[in-house]
């Protein structure tokens, strides 16, 4: 059970983050506090229901679907395109579906609730973040360089190829985090899956192979989601209005 000292440390860390964001003019300090409070409430709720969920394959499937739905809604709001949530869901799903299908059908991850929920959560979360970052970068670039887009149209390019010429390079930066994490694993960080398996009694080799599967699966899912996000922004399916305001 968490003791008073742990709770005090968590509160101090959250307060530190909020003050730095507020005083450094990096954003809203209250947003940091709300995010921390939401995380605490949500994890407490999940802890209470997860045991029941993991007893049933159907409940597990429903919980994964809930995670996916929340990810799509969160990403759509972050991009600034809540009305395009179905296209955003398709973008995230394009990365998640092939990765989960491959690792589950191949038996690399056992088709058991206790294994499906964490791997699904990790992959969905990575694809969500990559989609949000790629789409936001693409929209920002198209707004800031709209004159170049119009010049490309004047040269005879069609709308989507012209937009891709502008937004694709910057949107690819959304993969930097996944690439850096994969390159430096074991040297800079020891990720959660690796440490968790070691603490659970697995051998270092088993823990390492599992973590490698997670990292490469994330890289694959995020790469697909970034590519789809860029093309959907260029095609005006996601955040269809990126003309700068005059």
Q: Are 162 and 149 in contact (CB under 8 A)?
A: yes
Note whether 137 and 114 are same-domain residues. yes
Residue 190: the pLDDT is 62
Note whether 176 and 124 are same-domain residues. yes
Query: Domain for residue 117, yes or no?
Result: yes
60-105 tens-digit pLDDT: 889 899 999 999 999 999 998 899 999 999 999 999 999 999 999 9
Residue 175: the pLDDT is 85
- Given a cut of 70, is residue 236 above it in pLDDT? yes
Average pLDDT over residues 138-163: 87
Note whether 107 and 205 are same-domain residues. yes
- Provide the percentage of residues in the chain whose pLDDT is more than 70: 90
b/e string for 43-53 if b means 16 or more Cβ within 10 A? eeeeeeebeeb
Note whether 3 and 120 are same-domain residues. no
Structure tokens at 223: 């790469």
**80-89, 103-112, 145-154, 201-210: range with lowest mean pLDDT:** 201-210
Query: Domain for residue 199, yes or no?
Result: yes
Reported confidence tier of residue 213, pLDDT bands at 50, 70, 90: confident
Note whether 135 and 69 are same-domain residues. yes
- Which residue is listed with tokens 């899912």? 221
Looking at the 3D structure of the chain, how many domains does it have?
2
Task: Judge if pTM exceeds 0.85.
Answer: no
Note whether 68 and 169 are same-domain residues. yes
Angle formed at CA 134 by CA 105 and CA 219, multiple of 5 degrees: 35
Note whether 110 and 98 are same-domain residues. yes
Note whether 88 and 190 are same-domain residues. yes
Note whether 154 and 70 are same-domain residues. yes
As a whole number, the mean pLDDT across the chain is: 85
Note whether 35 and 68 are same-domain residues. no
Give the helix ranges, DSSP H, for the chain.
Answer: 4-23, 29-53, 57-79, 85-105, 113-144, 146-154, 159-171, 176-184, 192-199, 204-234
32-43 tens-digit pLDDT: 999 999 988 888
Query: Domain for residue 240, yes or no?
Result: no
Query: Domain for residue 246, yes or no?
Result: no
Q: Domain range spanning residue 66? A: 57-234
Query: Domain for residue 104, yes or no?
Result: yes
Q: 17 exposed, middle or buried (CB, 10 Å; 0-12, 13-18, 19+)? A: middle
Note whether 128 and 207 are same-domain residues. yes
Note whether 127 and 223 are same-domain residues. yes
Reported confidence tier of residue 201, pLDDT bands at 50, 70, 90: low
């Amino acid at each position: 059970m968490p003791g008073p000292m742990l709770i005090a440390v968590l509160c101090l860390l959250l307060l530190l983050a909020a003050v730095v964001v507020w005083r450094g003019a990096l954003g809203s300090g209250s947003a940091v506090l709300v995010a921390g409070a939401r995380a605490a409430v949500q994890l407490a709720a999940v802890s209470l229901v997860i045991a029941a969920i993991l007893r049933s394959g159907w409940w597990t499937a429903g919980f994964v679907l809930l995670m996916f739905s929340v990810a799509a809604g969160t990403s759509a709001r972050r991009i600034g395109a809540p009305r395009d949530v179905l296209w955003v869901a398709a973008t995230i799903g394009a990365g998640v579906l092939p990765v989960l299908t491959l690792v589950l059908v191949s038996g690399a991850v056992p088709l058991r609730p206790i294994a499906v929920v964490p791997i699904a959560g990790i992959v969905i979360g990575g694809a969500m973040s990559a989609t949000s970052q790629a789409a936001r970068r693409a929209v920002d670039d198209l707004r800031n360089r709209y004159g170049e887009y119009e010049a490309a149209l004047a040269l005879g390019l069609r709308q989507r190829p012209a937009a891709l010429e502008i937004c694709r390079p910057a949107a690819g930066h959304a993969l930097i985090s996944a690439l850096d994490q994969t390159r430096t694993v074991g040297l800079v960080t020891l990720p959660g899956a690796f440490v968790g398996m070691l603490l659970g009694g697995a051998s270092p080799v088993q823990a390492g192979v599992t973590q490698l599967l997670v990292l490469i699966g994330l890289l694959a899912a995020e790469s697909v989601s970034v590519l789809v996000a860029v093309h959907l922004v260029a095609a005006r399916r996601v955040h269809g209005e990126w003309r700068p305001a005059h």
